[in-house]
Amino acid sequence: MKTPPSAPSGELARISARLAEAEETIRAIRGGEVDAVVGSGQQGLQVFSLEGVEHAYRVLIESMNEGALTLTTDKMILYANQCFARMVKCPLEKVLGGSFRRFLSAEDRAILRPLLKQAAKAGSKIQMVLKAGDGSKLPVMISIRPLARNDSNVVTIGMVVTDMTEARRTEELLRALTHRVVQAQEAERGRVALELHDNITQLLCGVLVRSQTLADKLSVRDGPAKVEALKLREMLGQTAEEVQRISRGLRPSVLDIMGLAAVLDATGKEFTARTRLPLKLTCVELTARLPADTELTLYRILQEALKNVEKHSLARRVTVRLKRQGDSIQLVIKDDGIGFDAANHLLGKKGKRGLGLLGMRERATYVGGVLKVKSVRYGGTEIEVRIPLVVG
């Protein structure tokens, strides 16, 4: 039986030295002591150094509750702190030297690519979802800033990654609470509308009839008194009509009885009669009633939009269009008024108009819809809401 030839002592020494070097490298990576990474760049193997990183700075970065990264422009990770490794549920040694693309969906990669190019000159922020090592998804806010060039003249990019899981959960809770508040408001509006219709309006009609009887009993010889009685009857009639208008605004019975198309038509005619602004309504013929929440949402958004037109727009005409697009219903309200800066107008002057826009957007969100506002100064405003239809 032959024994295998032994390796030369010099080769064993070299292997032992390389193993010791590899173990020291792994220990340094795990301890956050790495100052350079060798990786494959656009020009082959390159050494990317992390010069100027002081111990105190490393301690600060490692103690952050946010993930911290340093990338090349082609998304190779030069540095990452332990927090980021925990976020993506990967060992730190597997994160360093790898590509940041592995944690992104194809859609987010396309969004991030131009931002990284732009980040070489200026910073930016973006919300996206990271894919963790175990397949779970993590909503994050990423802040991107350019870093100083190193001696190799390679541009590096700094990232701060913030876990948005708790923020999203809080946002959902606040939205659910707001939804319940709106539901309570709608219930109270319905109760008040019913009280106005069944009690106040009835009383006003009774007084109106009596005032008419009084006016009829007065003869021409009672000239001044008869004139006052007729004026009283007219004022009572106007008051009764105003109460009915308020009642319909609080909860239009026609919405419950005849549906959305009828209430849009009635609202448009009332708007024109009150403001003298022409309103053109184009309404698709709906073969079936929409869900009650959807109908009420679209009606409330139209109400708020027309209120803004009346108070702020100085428009000469308004168009309203309701149509079905695939599996969704679309409502568009457009005017030719003075417009506004939609990007900076969320809180509006004294918060009034902005809160109206915010309320419309929240109402659309309640029923799974999306609201978009397009406006140009002196170029009119277009509000579009699209709500998916539940297909049984």
Q: Residue 334: which H helix or E strand, with range?
A: strand 328-335
Are 306 and 349 part of one and the same domain?
yes
List, edge to edge, every strand of the sheet that includes 156-163.
77-80, 67-72, 156-163, 137-146, 124-131
Are 338 and 244 part of one and the same domain?
no
* Dist CA 309 CA 268 (whole Å): 12
Domain count, the chain: 3
* Dist CA 308 CA 353 (whole Å): 7
Instruction: Report which residue type is found at 210.
Output: R
Are 143 and 209 part of one and the same domain?
no
Residue 321 inside a domain? The answer is: yes
Instruction: Report which residue type is found at 74.
Output: D
Mark which of 251, 284, 314 sits at the end of a domain. 251
Are 237 and 203 part of one and the same domain?
yes
Are 73 and 219 part of one and the same domain?
no
Are 68 and 159 part of one and the same domain?
yes
Residue 3 inside a domain? The answer is: no
pLDDT at position 316 is 93
Are 23 and 143 part of one and the same domain?
yes
* Dist CA 338 CA 348 (whole Å): 15
Helix (H, G, I), strand (E, B) or coil at 153: coil
- In sequence order, the β-bridge partners of residue 119 are none
Q: What CATH number is attached to the domain comprising 338?
A: 3.30.565.10
Residue 92 tokens, joined: 């730190």
Mark which of 163, 194, 217 sits at the end of a domain. 163
Phi and psi of 352, rounded to 5°?
Answer: -70, -55
Mark which of 131, 163, 195 sits at the end of a domain. 163
Query: What is the Cα 375 distance to its own chain's centre?
Result: 17
Residue 1 inside a domain? The answer is: no
* Dist CA 262 CA 253 (whole Å): 11
Q: Which residues contact 178 (CB under 8 A, 6 or more apart)?
A: 362
pTM over 0.85: no
pLDDT tens-digit profile, the chain (392 residues): 454 555 566 777 777 777 777 667 666 655 555 555 565 555 565 555 554 445 556 667 777 788 999 888 778 888 899 999 999 999 998 899 899 989 998 888 888 877 777 655 566 788 889 999 888 999 999 988 887 655 555 668 888 999 998 888 888 888 788 778 877 887 888 788 788 877 888 888 888 888 888 888 888 777 888 888 888 888 988 888 888 888 877 877 778 788 898 889 989 999 999 999 999 999 987 778 888 889 999 999 999 999 999 998 899 999 999 998 888 999 999 999 998 876 655 544 444 445 588 888 888 988 889 999 998 888 899 999 999 986 44
Residue 2 inside a domain? The answer is: no
Are 171 and 138 part of one and the same domain?
no
Question: Which domain does 195 fall in, by range?
Answer: 164-251
Q: What CATH number is attached to the domain comprising 65?
A: 3.30.450.20
Are 303 and 352 part of one and the same domain?
yes
Residue 38 tokens, joined: 């060798």
Q: Which residues contact 372 (CB under 8 A, 6 or more apart)?
A: 383, 384, 385
Are 43 and 158 part of one and the same domain?
yes
Are 319 and 278 part of one and the same domain?
yes
Are 259 and 385 part of one and the same domain?
yes
